[in-house]
Amino acid sequence: MCRFFELVCLLLIKLIERVENLTNPATFLYLTMQNSFLVLSWLLTCYIQVNKAYSSRKQADLKGAVIRRLEIKKDSIDKLLEKRGKSVLVYAKAPGRKTWIAITNDKWPDKIDYTYNVLKNASGKIILIAQIPYSESGDWDIEHLSYFDEGGKIFAFVDKQSIFTDYKGGIVREISTRYFDENFHQLKKADELVDKDFKPVRVDKHNFDFRDDQFIIYKNANECLGGYGFRLAQ
C-alpha cells in the first residue's frame, strides 16, 4: 500500500512539472483536466484490482473454513462407525431380491450382492450410509460412504477401494473424498493412494489392477436409500 501511494505521488509530481512550463491558460486547463482524468482512471483501476484480490482471498478463506468444519464432522462420524454400537444397522442385498435383509446375531444369507451399514446419531437421524459390494474372489474390497448432516443433506462422500497385491504390506488403497456445500456443490476432492497402514504410496495408481468402480452420489439420505433400493421406517 505504501508503494502504491509512492507511485501516485511520483505521477502527480511529473504532471505538475509538465504543466508548469505552459503559458497558455486554455492549454493549461485542458491538460490539467486530461491528466486528472487519467489519474482518477488509474486510481479506480488499482482500487478495483486490489478489492477483487481481497474478495477472492476472503472467499478462499471462508471456503477453507467450511471444508475444515466438514472434515471435523466427517471424522466424528468415522469414530462412531468404528465403535459399531447399536446405532449401526447392518443389512444385506441378496441376488434376486429387491429389498434389504436385516442382519442380526451375525446371521447372513448364503449369497449377497451388497452389504449396507446405516449409522444413526443420538436423535435417530441417519448420518452415514455405507454401500459395500461383495467380492467373491476376496482379492478386492470397495466401500461407498455417504455422510449426511442433521437435515439429511450429504456433505461428504468417500469412494474407497482396496486391492491385495505383492506391493509393500500386500494391500494398496485408493481413497477419493469429496466435500459438498448445502446446495450439493462440490467444495473439494482429495485423492489418496495408501498402503495397509494408510501411509502414502509413491507409485502411479495405474500400476495396480483397481476395478472400474461405478457409483452414484445422492444429495440426501432419502434419495440414497431409495437409490439403493430400500427405505427405513421413520
pLDDT tens-digit series, residues 127-154: 999 999 988 777 889 999 999 999 999 9
Q: What is the CA radius of gyration of the chain?
A: 30
The pLDDT of residue 30 is above 80: no
CA dihedral 26, 31, 34, 36 (to 10 degrees): -110
Please report the DSSP string for the chain in residue order. -HHHHHHHHHHHHHHHHHHHT---HHHHHHHHHHHHHHHHHHHHHHHHHHHHHHHHHHHHHHHHHHHHHHHHHHHHHHHHHHHT-TTEEEEEE-TT-SS-EE--TT---SS-SEEEEEEE-TTS-EEEEEEEE--SSSSEEEEEEEEE-TTSBEEEEEEEEEEE-SSGGGEEEEEEEEEE-TTS-EEEEEEEEEETTS-B--S-GGGS----------SBHHHHHHHTT-----
- Counting every residue written for the chain, the total comes to 234
Question: Which residue is it, cell 501411509?
Answer: 199
**Confidence bin at 98 (pLDDT 50/70/90):** confident
Lowest mean pLDDT among 31-45, 105-119, 197-211: 31-45
Average pLDDT over residues 178-189: 95
Judge whether 220 and 127 are in contact, CB under 8 Å.
no
**CA-to-CA distance for 18 and 28, rounded, in angstroms?**
10
> What does the pLDDT read at residue 94?
87
Mean of all residue pLDDT scores within the chain: 81
Q: Among candidates 172, 233, 231, which has minimal Cα distance to 201?
A: 172
pLDDT per residue over 40-82, tens digit each? 676 677 667 776 765 667 666 678 899 999 999 999 999 988 8
Average pLDDT over residues 9-23: 56
Average pLDDT over residues 163-187: 90
CB atoms within 10 A of CB 141: 16
**CA-to-CA distance for 155 and 185, rounded, in angstroms?**
9
Cβ contacts of 134 within 8 Å, gap of 6 or more? 112, 113, 114, 115
What is the percentage of the chain residues whose pLDDT exceeds 90? 38
The pLDDT of residue 97 is above 90: no
**CA-to-CA distance for 190 and 177, rounded, in angstroms?**
5
> What does the pLDDT read at residue 58?
65
> What does the pLDDT read at residue 234?
41
The pLDDT of residue 232 is above 50: no
